Amino acid sequence: MSRFTGKYALVTGAARGIGAATARRLATEGAVVGCVDLTAARCASIIDEIAVTGGSAAAFGCDVSDSGQVEALVSDVVTEFGRIDVLVNNAGITRDNLLFRMSEDDWDKVIDVNLKSAFLMTRAVQKHMVDQRSGAVVNMSSRSALGNRGQANYAAAKAGIQGLTATLALELGPFGVRVNAVAPGYVATPMTEATAVRVGVTPEEHQAAAAQAIPLRRVGQPTEIAAVVAFLASDDASYVSGQTVYVNGGAR
């Protein structure tokens, strides 16, 4: 498949997990991929991996919750690539705690990295997509947007992503720019491994417990989220905009 031949994509939080799987998938399908993480060095292994398989990628360092860094990043990427066809706002963090124990800093950090970053990145990139009269943005929400004990900050950010997505689709649609979101359930990544360690079980035990509540009786893999991101970013989804697609093994 080469749905992205001649296209330039930017994926945030691309050093590992779902972001790395997405960068790999888009590159496999022909895109030149800008891999963004807190430092360019963190993207070294995904860049090497893409290069070894014959793909093209470049690493960029940026804290996507910082407006100055985001403006500089997008300017650098446009200088290097000439255009941006696909933006995947994937970077995210968790700082879980019950409300009465949640610090203001944990609230702010999670909102900034998961939600404000998508606003900052899309605001900076849309100028170029609007000029091109084409582009696709895919934002990373979560099943937690529906509510999840211990994740008031994260659930609020991920629900916010869905409202942002619906609104940006209205504003950017007339310029040929589509905006969609993916809402994964439990996916086996370093993020969920860290959660397991924090609650005192192994990642395998944590995944097995989560799987019991999922109709498909297993947790998701990063490649399974990347496949849906790639669909939404591609021309196969040319009439899909403003949607949030849940990818969660059938959980309600």
Binding site for ligand NAP (CB under 6 A): 12-13, 15-19, 37-38, 63-65, 90-93, 113-114, 140, 142, 184, 186-187, 189-192
Q: Which is nearer to ligand NAP, 64 or 77 (CB)?
A: 64
Q: Which is nearer to ligand NAP, 38 or 102 (CB)?
A: 38
Q: How deeply is 75 buried, as exposed, middle or buried, from its count of CB atoms within 10 A (0-12, 13-18, 19+)?
A: exposed
Annotated active-site residue 246? The verdict is: no
CA-based torsion, 55, 192, 188, 89: positive or negative: negative
Q: Which is nearer to ligand NAP, 2 or 216 (CB)?
A: 216
Q: Which is nearer to ligand NAP, 110 or 129 (CB)?
A: 110
Residues near 196 by Cβ (< 8 Å), separated by ≥ 6? 202, 203, 205, 206, 207
Task: Write b or e for each residue in 119-141: b if 16 or more Cβ atoms lie within 10 A of its Cβ, otherwise e.
Answer: bbbbebbbebbbeeeebbbbbbb
d(CA 247, CA 230): 13
The answer to whether 143 and 192 have CB atoms below 8 angstroms apart is no
Give the CA radius of gyration of the chain.
Answer: 17
Residues near 60 by Cβ (< 8 Å), separated by ≥ 6? 34, 35, 36, 40, 43, 73, 76, 77
CA-to-CA dists, residue 109 to 103, 116, 156, angstroms:
10, 10, 12
Q: Which amino acid is at 158?
A: K
Active-site entry in 8, 154, 186, 246: 154
3-class DSSP state of 168:
helix
Q: Which is nearer to ligand NAP, 45 or 82 (CB)?
A: 45
The answer to whether 162 and 140 have CB atoms below 8 angstroms apart is no
Q: Which is nearer to ligand NAP, 134 or 148 (CB)?
A: 148
d(CA 88, CA 76): 17
Write out the catalytic residue numbers: 154
